[in-house]
Chains A and B, each alone.
Chain A
């Protein structure tokens, strides 16, 4: 599987690039983030242990006590051990603990709603492209509008209408804080209730992109000889649409899905902020507001890792759908 090996190599390079950017950023910036952070931590949390200070210096670099290469090695070593330092916001909780608490929320909310949105958009887009020129073309301007609306603003409007005015959904949070987190019925019901509005936000704001892209690709594919041949063969329209037109049209959509994933994740971060949803985006916001550099850096890494992983999955799916990738390597 030469194709697969190339892909894996690419994602390793991308991962390395992200890790390195993460390492260099605080060191390239003016000022000494460690000192700034420590003074803030002392204001809020009392004494800071020498170990915590050292961990911060490894994470963020400071003062040039060690040369850059040595810092880099220590940094990589810490990353491999999952040691991201100590969070200032939730002092003295280690960053890794904060991450493991918030990540599942985001994975479920953003992951599920993104997949739902993609499947919905692609299906509708194929239908609209197939039956173009009729009522369905009226969907295009509507979805264009939805795609142009900022996630967080749509979230605000939805909260205003369904939460504040109609009282159908809770305004903030991921679950009723009176409940114990776990696989209990009441907790899951509460989580679902809290997650619905953020999920609707994400689906509504992202479905238009997939729909428009898939529509255009379907229209292009419909003019291909193999679709005409399929029609001339007297196949049933459903089969012509699904197996001949849509299956080919979805290949570029998958590629743009991978590209847009970062965008979707970004939108979701801000959406979480609106809902104070206990996910990774909200955590990032907390970290930023509290100058919690270790947490910020770790969240960036985790989000990048998640996006890379999702891209890899999409690439694998691509290889399953398109036999040509299995033979010839490369993009």
Chain B
């Protein structure tokens, strides 16, 4: 903040100490912590859970039993333990979310960052591609493709979901890439003849990490919801139990009409809970990306000091 020239500069926040204090490994934001904890819980269940439960498949002795000490979440029409199914299904749903989310994020990075960085014709073509993909509704397309593939299993479904859900992220990443590209130090490195792929990896992508993380989280939510919808319609993979297939079987057995709420409430709650946790994580990621959203509630964040009186950077 040394005054060195007459160049009109944007006012900066009241000087405060320790600008690096924000870089901590654990997020300070309570919401992010809750979100991460819930996600970690689900991942744990998905990894070790299936080894600990029995009675997820096969026919049990007492069908449609309401929750009891023996079956905490009751049983299905064929006597399987709902809790055991839920645990096994967690693995399936998380697998789809991770696979499809990863694929969609990688695709969106490739399309968005390359387009935004290279610019020109390439950018125009890639933009058109993402915009068209974006306006074509994905679920009907996914339904069509999976049906032609005849189910095709959890891997095929993840790939199809990933292939159809990258476009929104690509658009966001493209815009962010363009703004990073315009920054002084990046422009300077380019002028110095730094190789393009190196520039992208060293200068652009690290700057985009919060955005990419947010897009990944979103892609995971989207994939889990899409798979659930797909499976609920009876189009899902038959090789894995997921929350969606649980709901499909529940719906097919008229669980609703016969009042077996313990069968269809838990899988939906699991989806909602995980979705919520991921959204919470995204909310705090949003605030990393857009500091204006930081409220007076996150008091510890001193950098918020810049907002009220001096809201502007040079634009």
Direct interface between A and B, CB < 8 A:
yes
Contacts known (A149-B271, A307-B137); A216 close to B286, Cβ less than 8 A: yes
Cβ contacts under 8 Å, B8 to chain A: none
Within 8 A of B (CB), among A274-308: 274, 284-285, 288-289, 296-297, 299-300, 303-304, 307-308
- Are B136 and A17 in contact, CB atoms less than 8 angstroms apart? yes
The answer to whether A147 has its CB under 8 Å from any CB of chain B is: yes
The answer to whether B229 and A151 touch across the interface, beta carbons within 8 angstroms, is: yes
Given A25-B144, A296-B147, A299-B140, A216-B234 contact (CB < 8 Å): no
Give Cα A68–Cα B105 distance, bound, in whole angstroms: 34
With an 8 A cutoff between CB atoms, is B240 at the interface?
Answer: no
A76 to B171, CA, bound (A): 31
Q: How far is the CB of A236 from chain B (nearest CB, A)?
A: 22
Q: Is A35 an interface position by the 8 A CB rule?
A: no
Q: Would you call B256 and A156 a contact (CB within 8 A)?
A: yes
**Closest CB-CB distance, A136 to chain B, in whole Å?**
12
Q: How far is the CA of A269 from the CA of B144 in the complex (A)?
A: 13
Tell whether, in the assembled complex, residue A149 and residue B136 are in contact, meaning their CB atoms are under 8 Å apart.
no
Are A133 and B293 in contact (CB-based, < 8 A)?
no
Q: Complex formed: what's the CA distance from A288 to B144 in Å?
A: 8
**Chain A interface secondary structure, helix, strand, loop or mixed?**
helix
In-complex Cβ contact of B228 among A33, A137, A150 (8 A): A150
A14 sits at the interface (CB 8 A): yes
Is there contact, CB below 8 Å, between A267 and B136? no
**Which residue of B has the minimal Cβ distance to A304?**
B136
Q: Is B148 on the interface with A (CB-CB < 8 A)?
A: yes
A149: chain B residues within 8 A (beta carbon): 268, 271-272, 275
Is there contact, CB below 8 Å, between A223 and B271? Answer: no
B168 touches A300 (CB 8 A): no
- B68 CB-CB contact with A under 8 Å: no
Contacting residues, chain A, for B137 (C-beta < 8 A): 261-263, 265-266, 303-304, 307
Q: Are A150 and B136 closer than 8 Å at their CB atoms?
A: no
Q: Is the interface of B mostly helix, strand, loop or mixed?
A: helix
Q: Is A91 an interface residue (CB 8 A)?
A: no
Number of B residues with CB within 8 Å of any CB on chain A: 60
Contact across chains for A225 and B276 when beta carbons are under 8 A apart: no
Given A273-B233, A296-B144 in contact, is the A160-B261 Cβ separation under 8 Å? yes
Which of A160, A265, A285 touches B233 (beta carbons < 8 Å)?
A285
Chain A residues close to B by CB (< 8 Å): 10-11, 13-14, 17-18, 21, 25-26, 29, 33, 132-133, 137, 140-141, 144-145, 147-154, 156-157, 159-160, 164, 171, 216, 219-220, 223-225, 228, 258-259, 261-263, 265-267, 269-270, 273-274, 284-285, 288-289, 296-297, 299-300, 303-304, 307-308, 311, 331
Which B residues fall within an 8 A CB radius of A? 127-128, 131-132, 134-141, 143-145, 147-149, 168, 221-222, 225-226, 228-229, 232-235, 247, 251, 256-257, 259, 261, 264-265, 267-268, 271-276, 278-280, 283, 286, 290, 292-293, 295-297, 307-308, 311-312
Q: List 15 A-B contacts (CB under 8 A).
A: A10-B128, A11-B135, A133-B296, A144-B279, A147-B275, A153-B271, A153-B272, A171-B257, A225-B312, A259-B134, A265-B139, A266-B226, A267-B229, A304-B137, A308-B135
